[in-house]
Structure 1
């Protein structure tokens, strides 16, 4: 899996060919779109009759080779944007075509972050924050990921603008779910996120949940790899 479409299922229904028009029409529409977007940043907007979300979001996908040294540059090159959405209907259009985490292989990650926030430790929205981490035994990632992102999109965490995004990391021996927030020092907020996370994932009482600041994540990575500013991961 080397590009952003590798994380999408094959679709033989033909739905993706509808309403595309002739090649000339498509080229004309593409030119018009490029002209419009050159003067302003393109943001996702709900379609007519759709149900808008409180925030816009972007799906990202990354796959890394285990054991290979990482850096900010290599991480940014490796993470691919799948697409952004602003409504319930647009979310399901993406999600219904995406491979489930449990079916991914190797060292792969799905990221769902608010539009405009990169899934990287040093992004302005993330750098003072942290994340709750839950390590899962194999076979649970798909269900937990779906429950987590639906809770996030549905604003079930009730912490205002604190939530930045969520990550599911598929590894060989285990899978990891995490949710990122803006302000690591706000203990009341991080506690509320923890309690909501435990509820929406229906976690057993003895489940280990770890909170880690992004500052600590960067320091641990640097100490282990001897790298400077390695960028975000799981």
Structure 2
């Protein structure tokens, strides 16, 4: 699988430094189809095209952006996540990725999410609720390289943990950027350790890099506690 990416990267990835289009450009390609299917219970699954290199799983790109300081809720968060599109092959991935702005060029409070098809990038999703994520905080200027290395490793099945991987997120913030990889079973310490070691290798992280594992249960509790305090104080 890794060889398929190596063979296609130079020819199909496009000139990353020259891509200044909005993340929603990729979304436009799917808008008509998404609107037609919005009232149906099943969407037509994406499949590899003739002669394309299939991935082990189908994946979906998502994008979200919000104004810091604005009160948030689970419902508003879900409404704010925009689906860019799904893909089933290496070639289909590059078709989306080569037209997306790079994380280092995003502004404000923005996130890209890449999750297996059918899994929403939310703590409460059935595939995520018993899991957690490895978190790495990056100084500004490193997000684009680390994000690309992370998602190529994920799509190329380099983590070798079966179906444990759910997806990955890059979060662009004002002072720093954050990347994370989500897995299904937070209690499986052997698996989380293997993900950590693979993450350190594929990102070529210095030995002193701080890596934090956080369960989604803890994330939900922290979020509820914070918003409970905010509401109690009458603040926003």
The TM-score, its normalising length taken from structure 2, stands at 0.81
Distance 1:159 1:2 in 2: 16
Decide whether aligned partners of structure 1 residues 231 and 8 sit closer, same or farther in structure 2, where only a CA change above 3 A counts: farther
Moved over 4 A (4+): 1-40, 227-234
Q: Structure 2 regions of 5+ residues with no counterpart?
A: none
Are the equivalent residues in 1 in contact too, given 2:134–2:196 (CA < 8 A)? yes
Are the equivalent residues in 2 in contact too, given 1:4–1:82 (CA < 8 A)? no
| Count of matched residue pairs | 234
Equivalent position SS for 1:202: coil
Are the equivalent residues in 1 in contact too, given 2:134–2:214 (CA < 8 A)? yes
Q: How far apart are 1:26 and its partner, in Å?
A: 19
Are the equivalent residues in 1 in contact too, given 2:16–2:98 (CA < 8 A)? no
Q: How far apart are 1:41 and its partner, in Å?
A: 3.0
Decide whether aligned partners of structure 1 residues 196 and 230 sit closer, same or farther in structure 2, where only a CA change above 3 A counts: farther
Greater CA deviation, 6-15 or 67-76?
A: 6-15
Alignment partner, residue 65 of structure 1: 67
Alignment partner, residue 12 of structure 1: 12
Distance 2:123 2:179 in 1: 16
Distance 1:195 1:2 in 2: 18
RMSD: 8.5
Greater CA deviation, 24-33 or 178-187?
A: 24-33
Greater share of helix = 2
Bigger Rg, which one: 1
Q: How far apart are 1:225 and its partner, in Å?
A: 1.4
Are the equivalent residues in 1 in contact too, given 2:61–2:86 (CA < 8 A)? yes
